[in-house]
A = this chain, B = another copy of it.
Amino acid sequence: MPSSRPHTAIVAAEGHLVDSQILTSIFDRVIERGGDFEVQHFELGRTNDDFSRLTLKVSTDDEASLARLVEDLIPFGCHAVGEEDALVRTVDRDGCAPEDFYSSTNQRTQVRVGGHWRDVDKQRMDAAIVIEGDRAVCRKLRELRVGDRVVCGLDGLRVVPEFRDRERSDFSFMSNEVSSERRVEVSVARVARTMRAIKARGGRIVFVAGPVVIHTGGVAYFAEIVRRGYVHVLLAGNALAAHDAELALFGTSLGVDLEAGTPVPGGHRHHMRAINAVNRAGSLRAAVETGVLKSGIMVECVRAGVEFHLAGSIRDDGPIADTIRDIVEAQDRYSAALAGADMVIVLSTMLHGIGVGNMLPAWVPVVCVDINPAVVTKLADRGSSQTIGLVTDVGLFLHQLATHLSD
């Protein structure tokens, strides 16, 4: 039964609509939001390489819900058939957007300005889109300044969803299910192959790591991976550096002797003494250069010239002098370090992992490793087929990864 609801709009979309479940999602949204649809034209790509094309009439009971519905179809690549320029309003208060600002997703986006479609730069989720001359760029709300020209409403916007590439590399079909009941060895081999390929072409690999890397015995393996040149950026918190220094100075992590596996006398004080020792030296770099720190992840990073940023948090002890205390500055430095990343590997840190996930465009592949399936599910849930999750022991994972990268 064709729709008889009074308010209608025509939208169009093209691409791998079926494979990537975009067509399904479009229909779902219409019905979930209480609308009706009528397919005016649909052409299914004949083979796996061909695009499909859709023209769809959607209808709702009132104008407001129609506008919200059309807005909701944008992330799936739907755009108005009759093209208009985007609505642009001027910022009237620093750090704030106009009320109807368009809040971005992490998908590739285009804006129509002056009759031309422009690719949006620095794509990320939850940002405003600012027009600067010919250019469109994502900017966080807090970065907006009076006079900035911000895209509002829904016209003149086009999202290009990541299509799943069925004839893909190793990477893309590794996992679509988070489970601890999987053979991890196969996945490690694939991650290693992808890392080799990225390194070979001069790409950039970012690690995001929590202190569990140290507690589970991963230091020697991570250090090896750094030395072999597979770590271009390290993003972490104060705790990683503190326990890394504790291990270097006292042989313990959280007071546990990592060789013997047992607590040692006075061990609960070691991490504070390690922090104090680094801070007496002045910084991690100074501690390395003056010989206070002789081994560990941070030593390898300093020696290899790996860019690192430590973001502070409310639970920090110390913190170590290098820790960025202002979280806005920390976000900015993380964000700059992630620009141009070809792969991100998150090791046992929900806090920093989510922080990084918020900053990344959808097309950067992310590997999340954690022994807790709930963490992996949460981190992997970026609306992107480029994220894979491995539920496994991080120490043993790094052992295997280092072995694969050493051959």
Task: With a 10 A CB-CB cut-off, give which of A23, A262, A330, A374 has the most chain B CB atoms.
Answer: A374
How close is A49's CB to chain B, nearest CB, in angstroms?
6
Task: With a 10 A CB-CB cut-off, give which of A258, A327, A354 has the most chain B CB atoms.
Answer: A327
| Interface contact B141-A275, CB-CB below 8 Å | yes
* Residues in B whose Cβ lies below 8 Å from that of A227: none
| Interface contact B182-A216, CB-CB below 8 Å | yes
* Residues in B whose Cβ lies below 8 Å from that of A373: 373-374
- Chain A, range 243-266, C-beta contacts under 8 Å to B: 253-254, 256, 258-266
A223 at the interface (CB under 8 A from B): no
In the bound complex, CA of A334 to CA of B315 (Å): 11
| Interface contact B21-A24, CB-CB below 8 Å | yes
A272 at the interface (CB under 8 A from B): yes
| Interface contact A276-B141, CB-CB below 8 Å | yes
| Interface contact B334-A314, CB-CB below 8 Å | yes
This chain's copy number in the assembly? 4
* Residues in B whose Cβ lies below 8 Å from that of A397: 396
Listed in ascending order, the chain A residues whose CB lies under 8 Å from chain B are 1-3, 18-21, 23-24, 27-29, 31-33, 36-39, 42, 44-49, 65, 68-69, 71-72, 93, 95-97, 99, 101, 103, 105, 126, 141-142, 166-167, 173-175, 180-187, 190, 212, 215-217, 237, 253-254, 256, 258-266, 268-269, 271-273, 275-277, 279-280, 311-319, 321, 325-328, 330-331, 334, 351-352, 354-355, 358, 371-374, 391-393, 395-397, 399-400
Beyond the given A31-B166, A180-B212, could you list 5 further A-B residue pairs with CB under 8 A, ordered by the A residue number? A39-B44, A72-B266, A183-B261, A185-B395, A312-B328
